[in-house]
Amino acid sequence: MSEFKEKFLREAIRLSIDNINDGHGGPFGAVIVKNGEIISKAVNKVISKKDPTAHAEIEAIRIASKKLNNFHLTGCEIYTTCEPCPMCLGAIYWAQIEKIYYANTRADAKKIQFDDEYIYEEFSKHYHERKIPISQHLRNEAIKAFEAWEKKTDKINY
């Protein structure tokens, strides 16, 4: 990684350390960059927002999307203090961010009680073997919304 890119990761690290001192959430920070310019900065706010989805990466994606007025963040890179969890990795893919740079590994996170391994394990299991029961109902009614969407001529695909 170039020194130019390292400065963005160092900014995410600085944010994460500040977040520990501020008490908003866990020791995580993220920075989204487009064309060499920081578009958004965020920290984990799970505790302060009482929101399990308020991870630094998700918060940074929300800020960047609003700033760029777009749900696609093509041309962007994300710099994050830890290997993204399954939720954040999914959001990064949905946002179409083009490159991920991270510092700590998920094994490092596990050592301080941020263990996502069980989620990765759950994803590999059949639905009926997972800890959280899942079952399908009312498809014949719900499919009508999908059919309406499919026929909609002015929809914006995403």
Active-site residue set: 57
Tell me the sheet residues that pair with 99. 77
Task: Choose among 33, 40, 39, 45: nearest CA to 4.
Answer: 33
Residues 6+ apart with CB under 8 A from 43: 15, 16, 18, 19, 22, 24, 25, 28, 29, 30, 56, 59
Q: Are 59 and 45 in contact (CB under 8 A)?
A: yes
Both structure tokens of 138: 């009312």
Determine the number of helices (DSSP H) and then strands (DSSP E) in the chain.
7, 4
> What's the alpha-carbon Rg for the chain, to the nearest Å?
18
